[in-house]
Structure 1
Amino acid sequence: MNKPAPATHPGGLVGVMAFIGIVAALMQTLVIPLIGELPSLLDTTTSDASWVITATLLSGAVTTPVAGRLGDMYGKRRMMLMCTVPLILGSVVCALASSVLPMIAGRALQGLGMGMIPLGISALRDLLPPERLNSAIALMSSSMGIGGALGLPVAAIVAEHTSWRVLFWGAAALSMLIAVLLWAFVPATPASGARGRFDAIGALGLGVALVCLLLPISKGADWGWTSGATLGLFTAAALTFVVWGKWELRIRDPLVDLRANADRQVLLTNTASVVVGFAMYAQSLIIPQLLQLPEATGYGLGQSMLAMGLWMAPSGLMMMAVSPLGARLSSARGSRITLLTGCLVIALGYGSAVFLMGTTWGLILVTCICGSGIGLAYGAMPALIMSAVPLSATASANSVNALMRSVGTSISAAVVGVVLAQMSIQIDGYTVPTEVGFRTGLSIGCGAAFLAAAIALAISSAQGNQAVENPAVVKV
């Protein structure tokens, strides 16, 4: 007979997880409308103000795999509740900040809470019956698109009509609400079988390696790509990763099971995640600039920050709208086909930009097509990962997959930034990218989407069609 899943309120559970995804994405886009004003608000330089974004990226990247491993060892719900603590504290610190250092510290604390996303996706495997699993994973993955799309206009409206501090007080309130909802609707996850001691040395080594890798990617444009600091950090990252990898292979209870991550399906899915993250972020960097550049350029559309955010919002709604379709496709044909379809849809969106970038409605159609593809791909990747790893490693494996997407977005920001900076002109004393620069960036995004599709094809159909094992339903 079948034993029911331990989740007594599956609808409430899925709703809470989707809400977590929305709020996590809101945290990342919260400060974007403030970027131009931060130097004056915090009495600092533009270069130092950029650390408000970089700090969140770095702390989130370092913490995510650590939170995943701890979730496997001590329970995913427990770790998700713990992740709300730095979210709340960081939001309060930012709301009270009057200079740049407290703001950077607060944003770094907020980044520590980003591990909730892979933990939540992994918890769904433990708590839901098989027939609801694919749709729940797809919904939670796509909810991050909703948060990202809604974050811009909401933050712009709040910053324009009230104090910027209200943004962070609101973030603190949302974080406290997450803690309450987790306590009320998410039951404790079953024991996953992970044993052993926590790999503190591995966590420290991975943290150092990631900082050495992501910091020059984020700041290379300011420092110079051939500067001593940039090249030195890249070299340090490579050496640290080698030493860290040897350590992880030697010890009994590693932070990241490199042998499991070397499995063909896991390795190819993580590789695809880097490329999909690249493709996703390229259009989110290019299209807002096209919307906001003055019409006098001949290709800009002259929209305000608020209008741009509102025009971009439908793409996030499309991500959530396609999530049920992606779940059905995964159930019928396998998650590999869903990932492949999503990558091809993203490529179609970029390709359509060649003909549609001259009008506002055209660009919105481009973002909606890309958003649909991203929704399909982001829903498929966690399912592919979880069908290839044991229950005792689901949170850790999902955290590594989330980290790979973050690496892809960081590389995308650097590459697109270089392309637009190199292909720019002076207009009224301001440096703006040329139309050719934007088209080149969109072409690169299209190529990345096709590359991700090729990687998805390399996942064998037998592996990619495998159902996600769900121990919540036990045959007796």
Structure 2
Amino acid sequence: MTQTTTDRPTRAASGAVVPVLAFAGIVVAVMQTLLVPVIKDLPQLLHSAPSDATWVLTSTLLSGAVATPIMGRLGDLYGKRRMLIASLAVMVAGALVSALTSDLLTMIVGRTLQGFAMGAIPLGIGLMRDMLPRERLGSAMALMSSSIGVGGGLALPLAALVAQHADWHALFYGAAGLGAVAIALTLFVVPESTTRAPGSFDLPGALGLSAGLVLFLLPITKGSDWGWTSATTLGLFGAAALVLLLWGVMELKVKAPLVDLRTTARPAVLFTNLASIMVGVSFYVVSLVLPQLLQLPKATGYGLGQSMVTAGLLVAPLGLTMMLTAPVYARLSARYGPKVTLIIGLMVIAVGYGAGLGLMSAAWQSLVISVVLGAGIGLAYSSLPALIVGAVPASETGAANGLNTLMRSIGTSVSSAVIGMVLANTAHTVGGVAIPTMHGFRVSFLIATAAVAVGLVLALFLPRPDRAPRLRATSEEEANLANAARATGAEEAPHGFRGRVLAADGSPVARAKVTLIDRRGRQAGATLSGEDGSYTLAVPAEGAYVLAAKALGHAPLASSVTHPGQEQAVELDLSLPLSRPGETVGA
């Protein structure tokens, strides 16, 4: 029998953990939104052709898409806090590289490094699951998930202000400073999680997924430049399909895959990920359309003639409203479950885009659209990690949320490409400059509405809504587990694990729920510890498992274990760390 070594936190997680992790998510969003105010000026600033300058944005998108699931898996294996700090450190290095150059190739390298910060979102959500009590987990994950919109909404006017009144390289110095602050706060406030996944890092799987994602996302982001029916675009799509198919076949044969496709194929995970793509599409459309509509001169007949900073301020409520919906989501989810909350969010988004079709004639109307869409997107984004966390074992939280974040990134990539093509094909050329038209803006909103409708259908196919985790198991559940514990004594079921559940001070923990999870993420057994803390669990076969334990007043514990398969019981005591003072962790 082997057990992985875990890095247990040396101190209890403080109440500042959630704000610090959310701040890390906001820093990631700031990095993404940094260059939006100067997009149109990048060719001149970098002394390059417009088609080459777009690689400054494309490189960040591609590296973020590749890094997200990989960093999630590394976090599950070697520590989520450790990988969170690594992601932010790479981002800081990339920001400093970009701050010190005006050369296109060097700038692309710096922006590629900045894309690694995208892994902070799933890693933060995984840390929250591992250390927070159930009554706080819903709202905390909602805040972390919506931080990407919050940071984007706040960064847009601030970046515009800096770009108007200072050298544009100051944007990168600011991002590097924020990243350094996030690293320092994480080091001092966030303890490492003790939860580890079994197995080792799947390097061939990481390389295969990276190649497939690059081959898929590259033609999406550059298709409008190359031509959607060009040999390059179609060839890359075909190559992506082939590589991802071969990668999937390989992952199904690997004992410890980068992405457990069997878990991913569960309806709760599959339909959540597909709906995430649609939510990503709907989020990015408003970010592309409203700033352009607001900044177009009134001489066009439909432009609203606002400055860059004013336009950013009018769109900023999109992110602020997303942040404010986190506590609303927690209450709705506690009563109706995350599936219902996702459906409500998608319906609010549909209302926002539908109303937006007739509210494009005044600046204040853009403010209304931003608030409504922010509320809907906030509810939808907040629901996604809760649905994923509820469908996968604790040891796979990082990888599963990394894949879900990747699905959102694919949605924003598709949105960027499609809306860019729509606006380009419907634009008027005035003095050699392409001017977007009101028709293009309305078609973009219609596309967003259609994406939301597809997302709503997918959400309806999710398994029936499950209410938020209870603080205590029901009496029926406890009775069933207690009966199972009495029925599987060591002398009757020697083929398995047995031992005692102990508190940090060595005292026995009674009525702790002990769960055995196989390598595919399925529950292989469960029981309650006795009054002396003893437990016994039979195993169906030899091999690797995760043995998890949780109890009132204690933080949960998950350990990777291996049973040799002989007809014997493997002795293993489980030591539960204490929860924070004043908080109760449910069993």
Question: Which residue pairs with 1:70 in the alignment?
Answer: 74
Cα distance in 2 between the residues matched to 1:392 and 1:113 = 22
State the aligned residue count: 470
- Quick one: distance in 2 between partners of 1:357 and 1:33? 21
1:388-429 deviation line (CA, Å, top 9, x unaligned): 000110000000000000000111111112222222223343
Normalised by the size of structure 1, how large is the TM-score?
0.95
Equivalences for residues 340-359 of structure 1 within 5 A: 340-359=343-362
Counterpart CA distance in 1 for 2:87 and 2:433 is: 42
SS in 1 for 2:195: coil
Q: Does 1:16 align with 2:30?
A: no
Match of 1:90 among 73, 89, 94: 94
Identify the residue that residue 213 of structure 1 maps to in structure 2.
216
Amino acid at match of 2:55: W
Distance of 2:17 and 2:316 partners within structure 1: 25
Single out whichever of 434-443 and 6-15 deviates more from structure 2.
6-15
Moved more, 251-260 or 359-368: 359-368
Give the aligned partner of residue 382 of structure 2.
379
Question: Residue 287 of structure 2 aligns with which residue?
Answer: 284
- Contact in 1 for aligned 2:99/2:170 (Cα 8 Å): yes
Q: Is the 8 A contact 1:7 1:186 kept in 2?
A: no
**For 1:394 and 1:51, how far apart are their aligned partners in 2?**
32
What's the RMSD between the two structures over aligned residues? 1.7
Q: SS in structure 2 opposite 1:426?
A: strand
Do the aligned partners of 2:212 and 2:243 also contact (CA within 8 Å) in 1? Answer: yes
TM alignment of 1:202-281, pairs within 5 A:
202-281=205-284
Aligned pair partner of 1:150 in 154, 162, 168: 154
Matched, 1:27 2:31: yes
2:86 is the counterpart of 1:79: no
1:9, CA displacement in angstroms?
Answer: 4.5
State the shift of 1:160 in Å. Answer: 1.6
Matched, 1:112 2:116: yes
Q: What CA deviation, in whole Å up to 9, does each residue of 1:244-272 have, x standing for no partner?
A: 00000011010000000000000000000
Q: Aligned partners of 1:355 and 1:51: how far apart in 2?
A: 35
Q: How does 1:314-353 map to 2 (within 5 A)?
A: 314-353=317-356
Quick one: distance in 1 between partners of 2:390 and 2:16? 24
> Residues 10 and 128 of structure 1 are in contact (CA less than 8 Å); yes or no, is this contact kept in structure 2?
no
Which consecutive unaligned segments of at least 5 residues does structure 1 have?
Answer: none
Query: What per-residue deviation string (whole Å, max 9, x for no partner) do you get for residues 287-307 of structure 1?
Result: 111111121222111112111
Q: 2:428 aligns to what SS in structure 1?
A: strand
Match of 1:467 in 2: 469
Q: Are 1:345 and 1:369, in contact at CA under 8 Å, matched by a contact in 2?
A: yes
Go from structure 1 to structure 2 and tell me whether the alpha carbon gap of 1:110 and 1:144 turns closer, same or farther (over 3 Å shift).
same
In the alignment, is the contact (CA less than 8 A) between 1:118 and 1:398 conserved in 2?
yes
SS for the counterpart of 2:16 is: helix
Distance 1:436-1:128 versus aligned 2 partners, 3 A rule? same
The counterpart of 2:308, out of the listed 302, 305, 310, is 305
Q: Higher mean Cα deviation, 443-452 or 36-45?
A: 36-45
Which structure is higher in strand share? 2
Q: Which amino acid aligns with 1:45?
A: A
1:466–1:321 CA distance, 2 compared to 1 (3 A): closer
1:475, 1:276 → 2: CA distance?
32
Structure 1 residues 429 and 46: alpha-carbon distance in aligned structure 2, compared to 1, 3 A threshold: closer
Kindly, what percent of the aligned residue pairs are identical?
52
Q: Distance in 1 between matches of 2:289 and 2:36?
A: 15
> What's the offset of the Cα at 1:278?
0.7
The structure-2 alpha-carbon separation of the partners of 1:466 and 1:153, relative to structure 1 and needing over 3 Å to count, comes to: closer
> Which stretch of structure 1 is more off in the superposition, 265-274 or 150-159?
150-159
Q: Which residue of 42, 45, 63 maps to 2:46?
A: 42
Answer yes or no: is the 8 Å Cα contact 2:67–2:119 preserved in 1.
yes
Paired amino acid for 2:37 = P
Change (3 A) 1:413 1:280: same
Contact kept, 8 Å, 2:138 with 2:468, in 1: the verdict is: no
Query: How much has 1:465 moved relative to structure 2?
Result: 3.5
In the alignment, structure 1 residue 362 sits paired with structure 2 residue 351: no
Does the Cα contact within 8 Å between 1:196 and 1:253 map onto a contact in 2?
Answer: yes
Residue 430 of structure 1 deviates from its aligned partner by 2.3
Moved over 4 A (4+): 468-471, 473-476
Contact 2:30 2:155 in 1 (8 A): yes
Shift of 1:7: 7.1
The equivalent position to 2:297 in structure 1, one of 294, 297, 304, is 294
2:428 & 2:35 partners in 1: Cα distance?
27
| One of 128, 133, 136 as aligned partner of 2:132 | 128
Distance (whole Å) between structure 1 residues aligned to residue 300 and residue 41 of structure 2: 24
Larger radius of gyration: 2
Matched residue of 1:431: which SS? strand
Query: What CA deviation, in whole Å up to 9, does each residue of 1:182-230 have, x standing for no partner?
Result: 11110010123x1212110000000000000001100111111111111
AA of the residue aligned to 1:306: V
- Say whether residues 1:453 and 2:456 are aligned partners: yes
Q: Any stretches of 5+ residues in structure 2 without a counterpart?
A: 1-8, 472-548, 557-584
Contact 1:320-1:375 at 8 Å conserved across structures: yes
- Letter of the 2:356 partner, please give it: A
Q: Distance in 2 between the 1:86 and 1:108 partners?
A: 10
Picking from 399, 416, 423, the partner of 1:396 is 399
Which of 408, 432, 436 does residue 411 from structure 2 map onto? 408
Query: 2:335 touches 2:468 (CA, 8 Å); kept in 1?
Result: no
TM-score, normalisation: structure 2: 0.78
Separation (CA, whole Å) in 2 of partners of 1:232 and 1:100: 27
Corresponding residue for residue 446 of structure 2: 443
Is the contact made by 1:334 and 1:467 (CA closer than 8 Å) also made in structure 2?
Answer: no
- The answer (yes or no) to whether the contact 2:13–2:131 under 8 Å persists in 1 is no
